[in-house]
Structure 1
């Protein structure tokens, strides 16, 4: 069951999901609190698991990792054991940024980033198909990203008013 958040909690979350480098004093100032109560709210949301962690987002193109593929993966035999084995493997592959179990004709959709087509081909042959678990992969090369965000739609939380 979701935690109950008030409008100030939602404003704090909105601020830190957009810029995790903000200090508690900056956050407190923007939401109209002093630092101590703001820090306590953040700590409470961390302890409740609402705030899972804080990360720095990197520019994949600047790092030479701009080749992105969304792949639909069908397992040869989608048993409970094979699903578990595949998920364990995927967690070890740094090229896989996301892996989702989905409904429909395939078992998983995975998002992969790498340096180029040749590196993806190696990943496909050696890891995905080499696992012995996969019967089919449909790869879609990402040409352009119209929107990419890590920010959750906090406007869906009742009583939420965006922080300015």
Structure 2
């Protein structure tokens, strides 16, 4: 993707704040014609700068009150174990994020569930059964201090 212009940054910031804004409102907000705005947003989508549009839900309000950060260490970095781990984690709806990281763990997962019983089912019925898992450490989220989805532009 080519370098973002200041106008692109304003478009993206406005869309991050409200993805349901109409094209006409967006164009007015960033000082463009509606047709030019529509073309630029489509170009940003096609270039991959805009991956998708989504509604941000409140976990406890929709029955997902349990939230944890899970640190996973693999026994060895055998390609088949790594590939299996990645493929299986991508299929699990409880896993909101999965990051390959440096340090003590190999992966950090952000997991949400209905409650502790549901999390135990996730661990025992899924995570502990994956090949190559050496260690799993769970940190319970006690309170969310800051959780953002918007990138700083």
TM-score, normalization by structure 1: 0.90
Partner residue of 1:64?
63
3-state SS of 1:70 partner: strand
Residues of 2 paired with 1:16 and 1:125: CA distance?
A: 40
Partner residue of 1:90?
89
Where relative contact order (Cα < 8 A, 6+ residues apart) is larger, the structure is 1
**Do the aligned residues in 2 keep the contact of 1:70 with 1:139 (CA within 8 Å)?**
yes
Deviations 1:60-107 (A, max 9, x none): 111110110101001122222211110000011110001110011211
3-state SS of 1:137 partner: strand
**Do the aligned residues in 1 keep the contact of 2:64 with 2:112 (CA within 8 Å)?**
yes
Residues of 2 paired with 1:77 and 1:6: CA distance?
A: 44
TM-score, normalization by structure 2: 0.96
Residues of 1 paired with 2:117 and 2:130: CA distance?
A: 19
The CA deviation at 1:19 is 1.1
**Do the aligned residues in 1 keep the contact of 2:72 with 2:136 (CA within 8 Å)?**
yes
Runs of at least 4 residues off by over 3 Å:
none
Deviations 1:31-68 (A, max 9, x none): 11110011111011111111111111111111110110
State the Cα RMSD in Å: 1.0
**Do the aligned residues in 2 keep the contact of 1:71 with 1:140 (CA within 8 Å)?**
yes
